[in-house]
Amino acid sequence: MVREATIKDVPSVLRMEYEPEVDILTIHLQDPETPLSHSSEEDHRLILNYAEDGSLSSIEIMDASRRYPAGQLAAHSVDEFIDLRTASKLVAIAPVTLRAQAEKGRLWAIRLGGQWVTTRERLKQYVDSRARLGKSKEK
């Protein structure tokens, strides 16, 4: 038996979050704090999460950057994007050096609106990796 959806059945909390560290886009159909009962993997890149009442709570899309433009994902990022000029001030590394590292794939960054941007978390990871390399060279 098929029943008609009523207005109260339509999700009132539709929210998207992109986590660049793991490249996952999550579409929340219910409050993100809703307790989950189980998940199912529809294919190896799509996970459906269900609330305790059996309703669909959220959808997780793996490898989101392969499916959606960076600009769209950036709008839903849970980590703030910063341009490389701002990043350079935070870590005292020249913007041109950060851009070169981004182009070589050593610093995670993407181009948005014609400029390179990264996240504070990715910048921290890059700086930490440089510190580890420096310590290993001293030994």
pLDDT: which is higher, 124 or 75: 124
Predicted confidence (pLDDT) per residue in 4-47, tens digit: 444 445 455 578 888 887 889 999 988 888 899 999 998 889 99
Predicted confidence (pLDDT) per residue in 47-82, tens digit: 999 999 999 999 999 999 888 887 777 767 777 788
Report yes or no on 72 lying in a domain: no
Report yes or no on 2 lying in a domain: no
Number of domains in the chain: 2
Question: DSSP characters for 39-108?
Answer: EEEEETTEEEEEETTS-EEEEEEETHHHHS-HHHHHTTBSS-EEEHHHHHHHHT--HHHHHHHHHTTSS-
Report yes or no on 34 lying in a domain: yes
Judge if 94 and 115 occupy the same domain: yes
| Residue 86 domain boundaries | 80-138
What is the pTM (predicted TM-score) of this model? 0.52
Report yes or no on 19 lying in a domain: yes
Judge if 63 and 12 occupy the same domain: yes
Judge if 17 and 57 occupy the same domain: yes
